[in-house]
Amino acid sequence: MIVLDDVVVRLGDVEALRGATLAVDARTVAVIGENGSGKSTFARLVAGLTTAASGTVRVLGLDPEHEIHELRRRVAMVFSNPDAQIVMPTVAEDVAFSIRGQRPRRGARRRSCEQADARLRTSRFGSGADGAGDGAEEAGGKAGGTGDRAGGTGGKAGGTDDGAEEAADRVAQTLERFGLAALAERPAHDLSGGQKQLLALAGAFIRHPDLVVADEPTAYLDARNARLVADHLLADAGHRLVLATHDLALARRCEAAVLFREGRVQELGEPATIIARYEASLQC
């Protein structure tokens, strides 16, 4: 899924990634490390928000340097600050904005999402980041890291009455999935912090992305909302997940973990092992 070979990323005069090399194909990947270790830069690189100065990058088999539009169409990104991801006045309008110009995608992907929703409803629990320019990137590319959040060309979804009806149906189903149906006409900025992050997830998942990149998505949430957001991200709804986080309990729930240190990939492997070594390295 994700391959880096001797990748260097420069942010101004700083080398945020220094010869980073990895190959990982797990469905859910936790990215851990100290502040400034390169986690968020890696997340932005995978999502197509940041480019490599040198080295080779492949995400979902795509070369971001030459296939950036296809990458951004297939990838959605969720940031730590939900306020910076709201771009429309109401909850329903904000979710609908994600699919402007996007053709409806029916069939297996939708069925897998519905199955994941059912699992979440029966679950007992189903009820900060390094890098620079977070606010500007979040506001400019709420889901998928582009000014064209939906990965389309703008205008009404589908461009016809049938398309508009399908878009409205998708919005309604997505709001229901994330527990926001009763808040559809509520001003988006009036929501609680947890509700805003669920709104960010709704804006991302309505696009049926192949890959979701989440950079500290639970950083500002209480325990209940953090668990709810995590359950949605980790549920197998037909997507892969790259999760940059300081929450090591959350990282343990992933299938693989990558540890960054000083811009380099220090370790890649089974989460329990990687996290145990990381915690040991933090001992005073």
Structure tokens belonging to residue 274: 């990687």
pLDDT digits (tens, 9 = 90+) for 173-201: 999 999 999 999 999 999 999 999 999 99
The rounded average pLDDT for each run of 10 residues, N- to C-terminus, in the chain (284 residues) is: 96 96 98 97 97 97 96 96 92 95 50 45 36 45 43 41 85 97 97 97 97 97 97 97 98 98 97 96 83
- Cβ atoms of 260 and 266 within 8 Å: the answer is yes
Residues 6+ apart with CB under 8 A from 128: 35, 80, 216, 219, 220, 246
CB neighbours of residue 223 within 10 Å? 8
CATH architecture of the region 2-281: 3-Layer(aba) Sandwich (3.40)
* pLDDT at position 144: 44
* pLDDT at position 86: 92
* pLDDT at position 116: 45
pTM for the model: 0.81
Using the Cα atoms of residue 229, residue 235, residue 240 and residue 242 in order, give the sign of their dihedral: positive
* pLDDT at position 103: 55
* pLDDT at position 283: 85
* pLDDT at position 162: 67
Alpha carbon 202 to its chain centroid, in Å, reads 11
